[in-house]
Chain A
Amino acid sequence: MGSPEMVRLEDLRTGRSLTGRKHVLSILVENRPGVLARVAGLFSRRGFNIDTLAVGPTDDPEVSRITLTLDGAVHPIDQVTKQLHKLINVLKIRDMEPDLTVARELALFKVSAAVESRAEIVQFAEIFRAKIVDVSRRALIIEVTGSFDKIEAFEQMLRPHGLLEMVRTGEVALSRGE
């Protein structure tokens, strides 16, 4: 009661809103129809841009996990998570700490591979621990998993060889330790 220490108004500060880095949000939601539409709808309505989005089951059949990435230089992540929390079907949100997180993405690349350039492509694939999962007369499909940056790098390597098609899943993530 009436403790002597003073609070000077000049010393009061507001929280920081833009963090300036990429954020991975791991969101546990009830596994019900329409939940993804609620999450996606919230993002579009509030003008938040999702960079990647991945949805899948968890160890609990009643719960799904949505992993999404967005740019903290553009969006106040705090506001994003608070808005998400207002959705009744959202159970838990984790703004993943980069240092304490394992994040992976899977990508498939279809490259046109004439016989003479195949060897080189196979070499790239080995360096990136990628797998050739389909071979046809004119094309190869290569599967690669890794961090966002690794997949970007791999794509850069493949592009000059005639990238026909590609698909990426968007990152999924878990935090390290218990």
Chain B
Amino acid sequence: MRGADALMEALVHEGVEHIFGIPGGANLPTYDALVDADLRHIQARHEQAAGHAAEGYAHASGRTGVAFGTSGPGATNLVTAIADAMMDSIPTVFVTGQVRSDLIGTDGFQEADIVGITLPIVKHSALVTEASQIPEYIHHAFRIASTGRPGPVLVDIPSDLIREEISYTPPTELVELPGYRPIVEGNAKQIRLAAKALANARRPILYTGGGVIHADAATELREFAMSDRFPVTSTLMGLGAFPSNSDQWLGMLGMHGTRAANYAMDEADLIVAIGARFDDRITGKLSEFAPNAKIIHIDIDPAEISKNVPAHIPIVGDAKLILPKLTGEYRALQTEQERLDGWWSRIRGWQEEYPLTYEPGSDGEIKPQFMIEMLHKVTEGDAFVTSDVGQHQMWVAQYYGFNEPHRWINSGGLGTMGFGLPSAIGAKVACPGEEVVCVAGDGSLIMNVQELATAVTEDIPVKVFLMNNGFMGMVRQWQELFWDGRYSGVDNGTSPDWAKLAEAFGAKGLRCDDEADLEEMMRATLDHDGTALLDVRVSPLENCYPMIPAGNAARDMVG
């Protein structure tokens, strides 16, 4: 068979069912092989979007997402998605076409050194130099992308090699990679030490992150948290792993987190970080971060331990395996629950004094926070929600209230505007029976709005709820607060007419200006049999609070 056919068989062998991509000269043979393959190809309208769709697919399902691009511009268009997947540890495999082997290095037509370009933003990558490597490298790619700390893997295949005849037999056992051995178990002694430290903590807090979701350890986290009354907070990326309707839940922490969560981190005597990487949106001013706390750090990536904040009890391994052991060790110590009473009354005090609130709109004005609360209501808090990047993203994080993992899909580490719509398409492909909504920003949506064509043409019904404030809201907020209100490059004007634009793509387009109509129009959007976009005109100048100004400490929260 041709290399391209072996590529298809290898993908099928890895359990792949869906691929997002765009063809071109260098990967024509690949697309020819796709015709007969048992795979659904979703033709995106921009390779960046194909990449984000693959990410959305992975976010929603936990399975590895796959995207194809041709050489040169096809490959470079994938770069943002690859970087995004790297930052958020999303299991993805990118397969790019490359110019013929004999043209490599000659500045051939549509040649770009994509392996070189992406070196710092991949978990691993490889340029195929012999046709027989094609299936081998694909199997390596899936192994690497989906295990340990997940991430993007790129396989670049020259167009002559993909045509060559090779033989392929699917591997019967796991491929061995000598330089790749993720640590998963967790050191038993360290786990016991952690349990004992917890038993002696008076002001403990669980600081959980995206790693809990990657580990598929939401259940294990809940059991651990409930083995005592441990307060739980999460990063933006970990939302949903712990139910927001639990009375142990403090809300998100960090720059736009709740005061209760941030103050509790500030006063904690013991922080248990679980699959969270002490990002600067969390720590703020490092020297003043959690000054009273000892740190237990559970992470599958040894390099995360003590990278930003030194750990007192590091535990390297998979949270799914470690948490049950830690729960067991802790339970065996039979601590007294009352010892946390004082801590809880302090936390309850903050929760009562500083709940998340906003000034309700008057005269029909739609407050962005209200829009998210309404979205929660009409979706019964049960939708898969993707978002773009900006204020609207933070308001979803604050007000939607996620109770299950995998349902919150956003770009946290790279903060990629234009992520929402394509990732919604990917999520819907992964979970066709679920309601998938995208909360978009007007600045962000237009960066990948062409994907409405994909959703319509490929019959992937997603619902776009556009939080339209007419601004690059998050940047406008910073200019207002920290740059004397000197607005620069943040006014989006009145273009386009979003409802008409949606209609032009063949989707349903609606627009809502009045709070009184919001519920009904949201329901109409959800009820529409197909892709639909609701342009919600929200207060243009609303700011997202509370917030820790960049580089400040938790104590300095404003708003």
Binding site for B on A (CB under 8 A): 1-2, 5-9, 12-15, 17, 29-30, 33-34, 37-38, 41-42, 45, 76, 78-79, 82-83, 85-91
Contacts and interface: CB of A to CB of B under 8 A. Distances in A.
Contact of B120 (A33, A45, A76): A45
Sorted nearest first, the 5 A-B pairs with minimum C-beta distance are A14-B310, A82-B303, A7-B196, A12-B312, A1-B332
Contact of A6 (B177, B200, B307): B200
Contacts of B501: none
B306 interface: yes
A44 to B, nearest CB: 8
A17 B310 contact: yes
A13 B120 CA distance: 33
A142 B294 CA distance: 57
A89 B193 contact: no
B303 A9 contact: no
Contacts of A9: 197, 200-201, 269-270, 294
A40 to B, nearest CB: 10
A2 B335 CA distance: 10
A2 B334 contact: yes
B285 to A, nearest CB: 19
A111 B129 CA distance: 45
A88 B179 contact: yes
B303 A83 contact: yes
Contacts of B196: 5-7
A41 B307 contact: no
Given A9-B294, A33-B127, A37-B116, A14 B144 contact: no
A86 B201 contact: no
A14 B311 contact: yes
A30 B124 CA distance: 14
B115 A34 contact: yes
Given A79-B307, A86-B301, A7 B197 contact: yes
A42 B303 CA distance: 13
Contact of B310 (A5, A15, A87): A15
Contacts of B310: 14-15, 17
Contact of A2 (B119, B294, B333): B333
Contact of A88 (B124, B294, B307, B332): B124
B178 interface: yes
Given A41-B119, A79-B306, 5 more contacts: A6-B196, A9-B200, A14-B312, A33-B127, A37-B116
B16 interface: no
B302 interface: yes
Contacts of A12: 197, 294, 312-313
B252 to A, nearest CB: 26
B121 to A, nearest CB: 9
Contacts of B124: 88
Interface of B: 115-116, 119-120, 123-124, 127, 129, 144, 177-180, 193, 196-197, 199-201, 269-270, 294-295, 301-303, 305-307, 310-313, 332-334
A14 B309 CA distance: 10
Contacts of B332: 1-2
Nearest to B333: A2
Nearest to A76: B306
A47 B303 CA distance: 15
A77 to B, nearest CB: 12
A2 B542 CA distance: 53
A34 B118 CA distance: 12
Nearest to B197: A7
Contacts of A17: 306, 310
A38 B270 CA distance: 38
B140 to A, nearest CB: 8
A78 B306 contact: yes
Given A2-B332, A33-B127, A82 B302 contact: yes
A70 to B, nearest CB: 16
A79 B303 contact: yes
B303 A86 contact: yes
B307 A13 contact: no
Contact of A91 (B116, B127, B178, B269): B178
B38 to A, nearest CB: 29
Max count, chain A CB within 10 A of own CB: residue among B144, B270, B312: B312
Contacts of A30: 178-179
Nearest to B270: A9
Contacts of A91: 178-179
Contacts of A87: 179
9 contacts: A2-B332, A9-B294, A15-B306, A15-B311, A30-B179, A34-B116, A85-B303, A88-B179, A90-B179
B313 A88 contact: no
Nearest to A92: B179
Contacts of A42: 120
A6 B199 CA distance: 9
Contacts of A37: 116, 119
Nearest to B301: A86
Contact of A38 (B119, B180, B303): B119
Contacts of B179: 29-30, 87-91
A49 B127 CA distance: 28
Nearest to B115: A34
Nearest to A1: B332
Max count, chain A CB within 10 A of own CB: residue among B115, B124, B179, B301: B179
Given A12-B313, A33-B129, A38-B119, A88 B269 contact: no
Nearest to B153: A88
B458 to A, nearest CB: 34
A124 B119 CA distance: 47
Nearest to B307: A79
A45 to B, nearest CB: 5
Nearest to A16: B310
Contacts of B294: 9, 12
A83 B302 CA distance: 8
A9 to B, nearest CB: 5
A30 B333 CA distance: 47
Contacts of B313: 12
A125 B115 CA distance: 47
Contacts of A14: 295, 306, 310-312
A67 to B, nearest CB: 18
Contacts of B197: 7, 9, 12
Nearest to B149: A86
Nearest to B178: A91
B227 to A, nearest CB: 14
Nearest to B140: A88
Nearest to B295: A14
